Amino acid sequence: MPDRRQRLPLRLLSTFGSLFLLGGTGLWLLARAEDLPRFDALIVHYRPELLVLLLIAFLVLSLLAIRRQLIRPLNELVAYVRAQQTGSPESPPSHLYRRRDDIGYLAREIAKLLHALHDKNQQLHAQTLNDPLTGLGNRRLLEQRLEIALPLSRRRMTPLSALMIDVDHFKQYNDHYGHPAGDECLREIANVLRDTFRRETDIVVRLGGEEFLVVLLDNQLDEATRLAEGMRSMLQAVGIPHAWSPTAKVVTVSIGVATAPPGTPIDLESLLACADEALYACKAAGRNCTIGRHVGAGIKESAEMTS
């Protein structure tokens, strides 16, 4: 029974060894042919041709062995690697993966490498879509999700709301509590956002600095404003002290809400511009409040202000 753990060189050695033995025997017989009176004339006459024929047979058999043992499995490996260009990698064909020789070793190493590359890619992909400070999404994620959400909401005639959320007097917070405390404060706010907007379809991102954005699919202005108010009160209930804020004793936010009514042809920029205008109105109105408006309309409603 052949040793299953033999390596490729051993296999080749045994294949070539057999071929050499075969060829050698043939040559020896030819060499001895002169001693055999029966074949004498025939062998002497055809010896050069027979030698060439034996050599050719030897070469053909060698090439076949190389093709079977090396070239075919290597081609299969190449085909396997090519098939793994997209999606999560699968295992190589089992007859290659299980081989105990160098080809099997190569197949297993390639599979390991492809899996590691896939994991790394996933990691990098997540990093490009997430804000490293808060773990929320970033603008890129927002754009990616809205690429699908905007046309879908138009097609299904559903409303679309954007909540632009800005921390009040955050510069004072940083100045007095320090930048690391400022970072921690942003993380707390991110947690409140996560707790408030829990639907799978809610898109919650940090746009940068102390500005966050939430996009709600299928929420009318009243509902979006109510949710924004819920988030604002929850943050106040958390009560992150802000002794230097002229608005309140705790960290507060101002929220501008913009809603595109069903069927409104809208793009991200116009939705954000409208939410920004509403936010600006909040800041002008004294901060720590929510103001909502329909896209293309004047200020629709203003929610409570708390000091």
Q: Decide if 163 contacts 213 (C-beta within 8 A).
A: yes
> Among residues 170, 190, 235, 291, which is the contact residue for ligand GTP, using CB under 6 A?
170
> Among residues 47, 108, 283, 300, which is the contact residue for ligand GTP, using CB under 6 A?
283
Comparing CB distances to ligand GTP, the nearer of 63 and 133 is 133
Residue of 147, 184, 188, 210 marked active site = 210
What's the CA gap between 293 and 84, in Å, rounded? 49
Comparing CB distances to ligand GTP, the nearer of 159 and 182 is 182
**The residue to which tokens 């690391």 are assigned:** 180
Comparing CB distances to ligand GTP, the nearer of 170 and 212 is 170
What are the helix and strand counts (H, E) for the chain? Answer: 10, 6
> Among residues 36, 133, 284, 297, which is the contact residue for ligand GTP, using CB under 6 A?
133
**Cβ at position 197, least distance to ligand GTP in Å:** 21
Please provide residue 85's backbone torsions phi and psi, each rounded to the nearest 5 degrees.
-60, -35
On the 0-12 / 13-18 / 19+ scale of CB atoms within 10 A, 184 is middle
**Cβ at position 240, least distance to ligand GTP in Å:** 13
Does the annotation mark 109 as catalytic? no
> Among residues 68, 120, 171, 199, which is the contact residue for ligand GTP, using CB under 6 A?
171
Q: Decide if 234 contacts 192 (C-beta within 8 A).
A: yes
Query: 206 by DSSP, 3-state: which?
Result: strand
Sheet holding 299-305, edge to edge: 203-208, 211-217, 160-167, 253-260, 289-294, 299-305
> Among residues 58, 103, 166, 214, which is the contact residue for ligand GTP, using CB under 6 A?
166
Size of the site for ligand GTP (CB under 6 A): 16
Q: Is 131 in the site for ligand GTP (CB under 6 A)?
A: no
From the list 78, 85, 77, the residue with the least C-alpha distance to 121 is 85
Q: Decide if 258 contacts 267 (C-beta within 8 A).
A: no
Q: Decide if 239 contacts 247 (C-beta within 8 A).
A: no
Comparing CB distances to ligand GTP, the nearer of 207 and 266 is 207
Residues between 175 and 204 with contacts to ligand GTP, criterion CB under 6 A: 179, 182-183, 186
**Cβ at position 192, least distance to ligand GTP in Å:** 16
Q: Is 100 in the site for ligand GTP (CB under 6 A)?
A: no
**Cβ at position 177, least distance to ligand GTP in Å:** 9
What's the CA gap between 258 and 215, in Å, rounded? 10
Q: Is 168 in the site for ligand GTP (CB under 6 A)?
A: yes
Comparing CB distances to ligand GTP, the nearer of 79 and 133 is 133
Comparing CB distances to ligand GTP, the nearer of 152 and 248 is 248
What's the CA gap between 119 and 84, in Å, rounded? 13
Using only C-alpha atoms, the chain has a radius of gyration, in whole angstroms, of: 37
Q: Annotated catalytic sites, by residue?
A: 210
Residues that bind ligand GTP (CB under 6 A): 133, 166-171, 174, 179, 182-183, 186, 209-210, 283, 287
